[in-house]
Structure 1
Amino acid sequence: MSKAQSSKMSNSTTVTEFLLIRFSEVWEYRVLHTMLFLLMYFATLMGNFLIVTVTTLDKKLHVPMFFFLRNLSALDMCYISVTVPKACVIFLLDNRVISMAGCAAQIFLVLWFAYIELMFLTIMAWDRYVAICQPLHYSVIMNPWLCIQMTLATLLSGVVSAGFLTGNTFQLPFCQSNVVHQFFCDIPSLRKLSCSDTLSNEISIFIFAVIIDGACFAFITMSYIRIFSTVLKFPTRGERGKAFSTCVPHILVVTIFISSGAAVYMKPTYNSPTIQDMITSVFYSIVPPFLNPIIYSLRNKQIKEAVRKMMRKKLYLGKC
């Protein structure tokens, strides 16, 4: 560390807590932002809870595709709960403080859930590839034991990755300011508060993004290229339309998730904080959990039929 940095640190107060910021300080806008966040939050919880319930109770849906969809829905309820409730509190109340431990926990959970989300989306793309391109071998390849193994491997590797990146970030000394220019704690915003060299942290984030995000995106892209090449050979337009309607929304969610995350996390530290960074972060922390139940329930005939069956059963029991 240089003498200038050492002198700067000695003349600064070490940060022990952080202040999150809002999209606006105007009260009317703060209320509007809270309402929008809460609407998305409750819609996400209800939609994903419905998918978890239906895919658990209906034995016809106990197949690999819905096994991962059920896990994704459970994950999304946890993922969005890490950021939105706290954001709504700082939007409405004057207390914008988050402790050092709370900030570390928020960063770890966001990274962990985002990692699992990406892995599940990648596995689901592979599941669709096997189902469409190798239908005769589907039950052999996507057996229950393999599904459980992939899920456990994803959870454990996510803990290691999120733990490493969180620990690497909190090794940095924070003594310049305690204002995090974001509505939740994330690494890029926190890194700007460090009074030491953050190059190693930026490199680790870059390597992680290139290896994990790049590999998953490449795998998903290759899977869908093969899926589309197979779908185009289907004899009827109806079969092609059904396959495309299943795959295209999945590609949309993956693209939004990866591109928005990369835009925030791979942005150089010296760039000044802007409202665009906060808006972009919404697209990887809130939008995917919100969109997933819409895409996978409203557009899936099996899910819709299972919901109708469950509702008819409830109405019948209510009459009795």
Structure 2
Amino acid sequence: MFGIDLGIDLGTASVLVYVKGKGIVLHEPSVVAIDKNTNKRIAVGEDARMMLGRTPGNIVAVRPMRDGVIADYVTTELMLKYFLEKAGARKFPFFKTRVVVCIPSGVTEVEERAVKQAAYQAGARQVKVIEEPYSAALGAGLDIAGPAGNMVVDIGGGTSDIAVLALGGIVTKRSLRVGGDKFDEAIIRHIRREYNLMIGERTAEEVKIAVGTAIPEGRPENAEIDVRGRDLVTGLPKTVTVNSKECYTALEESVEAIVSAVKEVLEHTPPELSADILNKGIVMTGGGSMVYGFDIRLSRETGLPVSLAEDPISCVALGTGKVLDHSF
């Protein structure tokens, strides 16, 4: 075997690695724990995520990706190197490790170059960069090679990418830096404002998964969750109960921003492709699209059929696999 071919979904919240011939072999959070005194890597992925907000003074747990782009270059390189080795790239030191990396559709040339450079420094010999909505559409099983239009809404951790695709390319697109992380931040703000309670990112994510909703009527039986954090008045630990209607209020601004961007892309879509989308509908991918009722909300606002991809979180990584099969 002459080298190894990898597809990487380098996400703000998590990294997925696809190995040609094997499928997705790795799905870990984009978190790195570093010893500040020695600059040594202590943990990466799930082990490092467990340390978020819980580290002693000399250890810092960081998320090197912010809003879909590299915020901390050195740490991203460390993280990529670790994941490439874990996926099996180190077995082929003298051969080519070929890598396909996904980036949000709205990044600048400088940001794109940083991703390529980080992959090369991590040990890749050949790097191809593709746009996330393109990869997400492939991974969701859409036929984007033909003349018929397809619309995909990919809501990741740091960015939401909306695109209309036809004839193997992107016709119209919009990328905004709103995603799962912004949802978590909105929940943190809401609980601080309403209950004077400070909670961390991990707790906010748990609240989002348990009772988050994008529709005003909330979840069935108005689901509730007990939230534990620090009381900002007394400084002592405290528990409050949060329900799904409150979560709707907290998430509304971020959800509305994504819905508006979808409408904007539809406004700029050529009429022939609009007719195709009316028949086929919109496909949603990415972890953020799994917020309860998001597909219902989007369907109400656009009047189009909206469906969730079979495996929303893995779509971008599966798409890189299809690109690997045909590119190299």
What's the TM-score bracket when you normalise by the shorter of the two chains?
0.3 to 0.5
Greater per-residue helix proportion: 1
Higher relative contact order (CA 8 A, sep 6+): 1
